[in-house]
Protein backbone atom coordinates (compact mmCIF):
# COMPACT_ATOMS: atom_id res chain seq x y z
CA UNK A 1 0.00 0.00 0.00
CA UNK A 2 1.57 3.31 -1.06
CA UNK A 3 2.46 5.94 1.51
CA UNK A 4 -0.01 8.76 1.94
CA UNK A 5 0.74 12.05 0.27
CA UNK A 6 1.27 15.20 2.36
CA UNK A 7 -2.23 16.28 1.28
CA UNK A 8 -3.83 13.04 2.51
CA UNK A 9 -1.89 13.17 5.78
CA UNK A 10 -2.89 16.78 6.39
CA UNK A 11 -6.57 16.19 5.57
CA UNK A 12 -6.69 13.13 7.84
CA UNK A 13 -5.16 15.05 10.74
CA UNK A 14 -7.47 18.04 10.20
CA UNK A 15 -10.50 15.73 10.24
CA UNK A 16 -9.23 14.09 13.43
CA UNK A 17 -9.15 17.55 15.02
CA UNK A 18 -12.62 18.34 13.63
CA UNK A 19 -13.96 15.07 15.03
CA UNK A 20 -13.00 16.11 18.59
CA UNK A 21 -15.84 18.67 18.60
CA UNK A 22 -18.13 17.68 21.50
CA UNK A 23 -21.14 19.28 19.79
CA UNK A 24 -23.18 16.95 17.61
CA UNK A 25 -25.40 17.39 14.58
CA UNK A 26 -27.89 14.96 13.07
CA UNK A 27 -27.30 14.46 9.36
CA UNK A 28 -29.26 11.90 7.34
CA UNK A 29 -29.99 9.91 10.49
CA UNK A 30 -26.38 9.87 11.68
CA UNK A 31 -24.95 11.84 14.62
CA UNK A 32 -21.70 13.59 13.64
CA UNK A 33 -19.32 15.99 15.38
CA UNK A 34 -20.66 19.40 14.35
CA UNK A 35 -17.34 20.72 13.09
CA UNK A 36 -16.59 17.61 11.01
CA UNK A 37 -20.01 17.95 9.37
CA UNK A 38 -19.40 21.68 8.75
CA UNK A 39 -15.98 20.99 7.19
CA UNK A 40 -17.62 18.44 4.89
CA UNK A 41 -20.19 21.01 3.74
CA UNK A 42 -17.39 23.51 3.07
CA UNK A 43 -15.51 20.98 0.94
CA UNK A 44 -18.69 19.98 -0.90
CA UNK A 45 -19.38 23.59 -1.89
CA UNK A 46 -15.80 24.11 -3.06
CA UNK A 47 -16.40 21.54 -5.80
CA UNK A 48 -19.15 23.81 -7.18
CA UNK A 49 -17.41 27.15 -6.61
CA UNK A 50 -14.00 26.38 -8.15
CA UNK A 51 -13.56 24.08 -11.15
CA UNK A 52 -10.17 22.64 -10.18
CA UNK A 53 -9.24 23.79 -6.66
CA UNK A 54 -5.60 23.43 -5.65
CA UNK A 55 -4.57 21.31 -2.68
CA UNK A 56 -3.84 24.49 -0.72
CA UNK A 57 -7.29 25.87 -1.45
CA UNK A 58 -8.88 22.57 -0.40
CA UNK A 59 -6.96 22.59 2.89
CA UNK A 60 -7.92 26.21 3.62
CA UNK A 61 -11.62 25.61 2.94
CA UNK A 62 -11.59 22.43 5.05
CA UNK A 63 -9.99 24.26 8.00
CA UNK A 64 -11.99 27.48 8.17
CA UNK A 65 -13.81 26.49 11.41
CA UNK A 66 -10.96 24.45 12.90
CA UNK A 67 -11.45 23.94 16.66
CA UNK A 68 -13.86 26.86 16.76
CA UNK A 69 -15.68 25.40 19.77
CA UNK A 70 -12.56 25.93 21.89
CA UNK A 71 -12.98 29.72 21.76
CA UNK A 72 -16.71 30.43 22.26
CA UNK A 73 -18.30 33.64 21.05
CA UNK A 74 -19.63 34.09 24.62
CA UNK A 75 -16.09 34.83 25.84
CA UNK A 76 -16.12 38.11 23.90
CA UNK A 77 -18.22 41.27 24.45
CA UNK A 78 -21.63 41.61 22.85
CA UNK A 79 -21.94 43.76 19.75
CA UNK A 80 -20.14 44.21 16.47
CA UNK A 81 -16.66 44.96 17.86
CA UNK A 82 -16.76 41.86 20.08
CA UNK A 83 -17.95 39.75 17.15
CA UNK A 84 -15.26 41.02 14.78
CA UNK A 85 -12.53 40.49 17.40
CA UNK A 86 -13.74 36.94 18.02
CA UNK A 87 -13.86 36.20 14.29
CA UNK A 88 -10.35 37.61 13.76
CA UNK A 89 -8.98 35.53 16.66
CA UNK A 90 -10.71 32.42 15.32
CA UNK A 91 -9.16 32.92 11.89
CA UNK A 92 -5.72 33.42 13.38
CA UNK A 93 -5.96 30.28 15.55
CA UNK A 94 -7.35 28.13 12.72
CA UNK A 95 -4.64 29.36 10.36
CA UNK A 96 -1.82 28.71 12.82
CA UNK A 97 -3.06 25.22 13.70
CA UNK A 98 -3.57 24.29 10.05
CA UNK A 99 -0.07 25.54 9.18
CA UNK A 100 1.43 23.33 11.92
CA UNK A 101 -0.55 20.32 10.68
CA UNK A 102 0.59 20.95 7.11
CA UNK A 103 4.26 21.23 7.98
CA UNK A 104 4.09 18.06 10.06
CA UNK A 105 2.52 16.35 7.02
CA UNK A 106 5.38 17.43 4.75
CA UNK A 107 4.36 20.80 3.29
CA UNK A 108 6.77 23.72 3.11
CA UNK A 109 6.53 26.67 5.49
CA UNK A 110 5.66 28.81 2.45
CA UNK A 111 2.67 26.64 1.51
CA UNK A 112 1.54 26.48 5.14
CA UNK A 113 1.72 30.28 5.45
CA UNK A 114 -0.27 30.68 2.22
CA UNK A 115 -3.08 28.49 3.57
CA UNK A 116 -3.09 30.33 6.91
CA UNK A 117 -3.50 33.59 4.97
CA UNK A 118 -6.45 32.14 3.01
CA UNK A 119 -8.12 31.03 6.25
CA UNK A 120 -7.73 34.57 7.64
CA UNK A 121 -9.31 35.74 4.32
CA UNK A 122 -6.43 38.09 3.63
CA UNK A 123 -6.67 39.56 0.15
CA UNK A 124 -10.39 38.88 -0.14
CA UNK A 125 -11.51 39.78 -3.65
CA UNK A 126 -7.92 39.46 -4.98
CA UNK A 127 -6.67 36.10 -3.69
CA UNK A 128 -8.57 33.14 -5.21
CA UNK A 129 -7.99 31.00 -2.10
CA UNK A 130 -9.30 33.60 0.33
CA UNK A 131 -12.27 34.16 -1.98
CA UNK A 132 -13.01 30.43 -2.09
CA UNK A 133 -13.01 30.25 1.72
CA UNK A 134 -15.41 33.21 1.88
CA UNK A 135 -17.68 31.85 -0.86
CA UNK A 136 -17.98 28.42 0.77
CA UNK A 137 -18.56 29.93 4.21
CA UNK A 138 -21.35 32.14 2.84
CA UNK A 139 -22.99 29.24 1.02
CA UNK A 140 -22.84 26.97 4.07
CA UNK A 141 -24.39 29.77 6.14
CA UNK A 142 -27.19 30.42 3.65
CA UNK A 143 -27.87 26.71 3.16
CA UNK A 144 -27.81 25.57 6.78
CA UNK A 145 -28.03 28.44 9.27
CA UNK A 146 -29.83 31.34 7.62
CA UNK A 147 -33.40 30.20 8.32
CA UNK A 148 -32.84 29.92 12.09
CA UNK A 149 -30.65 33.02 12.17
CA UNK A 150 -33.32 35.07 10.39
CA UNK A 151 -35.83 34.37 13.17
CA UNK A 152 -33.46 35.76 15.82
CA UNK A 153 -32.42 39.03 14.16
CA UNK A 154 -34.38 42.24 13.65
CA UNK A 155 -35.59 42.52 10.04
CA UNK A 156 -33.71 45.61 8.84
CA UNK A 157 -30.48 44.38 10.44
CA UNK A 158 -30.96 41.02 8.74
CA UNK A 159 -31.36 42.71 5.35
CA UNK A 160 -28.08 44.59 5.92
CA UNK A 161 -26.33 41.31 6.88
CA UNK A 162 -27.50 39.67 3.65
CA UNK A 163 -26.31 42.68 1.64
CA UNK A 164 -22.88 42.53 3.28
CA UNK A 165 -22.68 38.77 2.74
CA UNK A 166 -23.64 39.19 -0.92
CA UNK A 167 -21.01 41.88 -1.38
CA UNK A 168 -18.25 39.49 -0.30
CA UNK A 169 -19.27 36.67 -2.64
CA UNK A 170 -17.94 35.97 -6.12
CA UNK A 171 -20.35 36.01 -9.09
CA UNK A 172 -20.26 32.19 -9.18
CA UNK A 173 -21.15 31.89 -5.49
CA UNK A 174 -24.03 34.33 -5.98
CA UNK A 175 -25.39 32.14 -8.79
CA UNK A 176 -25.23 29.10 -6.52
CA UNK A 177 -26.87 30.98 -3.64
CA UNK A 178 -29.86 31.89 -5.79
CA UNK A 179 -30.36 28.19 -6.58
CA UNK A 180 -30.64 27.21 -2.90
CA UNK A 181 -33.99 26.03 -1.60
CA UNK A 182 -35.15 28.45 1.11
CA UNK A 183 -38.26 29.07 3.11
CA UNK A 184 -40.58 31.73 1.69
CA UNK A 185 -39.61 34.06 4.55
CA UNK A 186 -35.87 33.60 4.00
CA UNK A 187 -36.13 34.08 0.25
CA UNK A 188 -38.20 37.23 0.75
CA UNK A 189 -35.41 38.68 2.92
CA UNK A 190 -32.79 37.82 0.29
CA UNK A 191 -34.88 39.36 -2.48
CA UNK A 192 -35.46 42.52 -0.44
CA UNK A 193 -31.73 42.77 0.34
CA UNK A 194 -30.77 42.42 -3.32
CA UNK A 195 -33.41 44.83 -4.62
CA UNK A 196 -32.44 47.55 -2.13
CA UNK A 197 -28.69 46.88 -1.96
Backbone angles phi, psi at 139, to 5 degrees: -70, -40
Q: pLDDT, tens digit, for every residue of 116-150?
A: 999 999 998 899 999 999 999 999 999 988 878 87
Q: What long-range pairs does 72-77 form, CB within 8 A, spacing at least 24?
A: none
| pLDDT of 1 higher than 60 | no
User: In angstroms, how far apart are the furthest CA atoms of the chain?
Assistant: 58
pTM for the full predicted model: 0.92
- Position 60 scores a pLDDT of 98
What local confidence, expressed as pLDDT, does residue 121 receive? 94
Give me the percent of the chain exceeding a pLDDT of 90: 74
Integer Cα distance of 102 and 8 in angstroms: 10
Q: What is the pLDDT of residue 197?
A: 60
Mean pLDDT value across residues 73-85: 93
Q: pLDDT tens-digit profile of 35-61?
A: 999 999 999 999 999 999 999 999 999
How confident is the model over 90-94, as a mean pLDDT? 96
Amino acid sequence: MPDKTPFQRAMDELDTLHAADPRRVEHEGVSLPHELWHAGRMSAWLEHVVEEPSELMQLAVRSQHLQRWELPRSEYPEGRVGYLTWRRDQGKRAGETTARVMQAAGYSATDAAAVASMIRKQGLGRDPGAQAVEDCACLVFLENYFADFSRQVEHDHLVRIVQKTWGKMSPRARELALELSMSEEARAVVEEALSSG
